Amino acid sequence: MIKKVSHIGIAVNSIDEALKLYTGALGLKLKGIEVVPDQKVRVAIIPVGNARIELLESTDPEGPIAKHIKNRGEGLHHVALEVEGIEGMLEALEKKEVPLVDRKPRIGAEGARIAFLHPKATKALVELLEPAE
Ligand code: ZN
């Protein structure tokens, strides 16, 4: 079951640089910065109402965010939907032949379980996210 938009992921070259705008000019508050080794990424979490913006900076020149920026420049990377029962949802989507990047959840920022749907189906990269308890 999909509950809400969890976050918008934005690929940036430098979190420090991007934060000047988001927490400076826009006046949002930084909740924290976390490294997610599995995704080779550093994530700045910025709450906005009951959702948040995540600024994504690559920790590795071969990581997915570095490749995204090389191909398309900085900007919108993915939209994340908060769900309940992520394993069951992935099984159901596979049965409906929805193309998936991840058949099993991986661990994302704050210990959430995450899985990406393939953008050839969703048109933009969509992440399903089930928060840690
Ligand atoms: Zn995300």
Q: What is the CATH number of the domain that holds 39?
A: 3.10.180.10
Give pairs for 25-29: CB < 8 Å, separation 24+: 28/53
Q: What is the mean pLDDT of residues 33-60?
A: 96
Contact 34, 112 (CB under 8 A): no
Residue 79: which pLDDT band, with cuts at 50, 70 and 90?
A: very high
Whole-number pLDDT of residue 29: 98
Is the pLDDT confidence value at 112 over 90?
Answer: yes
Whole-number pLDDT of residue 91: 97
**Ligand 1: distance of its center to the CA of 107 in Å?**
11
**Ligand 1: distance of its center to the CA of 80 in Å?**
5
**Ligand 1: distance of its center to the CA of 8 in Å?**
7
**Ligand 1: distance of its center to the CA of 121 in Å?**
18
4-37 pLDDT, tens digit per residue, is 999 999 999 999 999 999 999 999 999 999 999 9
Contact 12, 57 (CB under 8 A): yes
Is the pLDDT confidence value at 113 over 90?
Answer: yes
**Ligand 1: distance of its center to the CA of 18 in Å?**
17
Provide the token pair at 61: 């020149």
**Ligand 1: distance of its center to the CA of 38 in Å?**
12
Is the pLDDT confidence value at 133 over 90?
Answer: no
Residue 38: which pLDDT band, with cuts at 50, 70 and 90?
A: confident
Total of domains in the chain: 1
Which range of residues forms the domain containing residue 54? 2-130
**Ligand 1: distance of its center to the CA of 100 in Å?**
15
**Ligand 1: distance of its center to the CA of 32 in Å?**
15
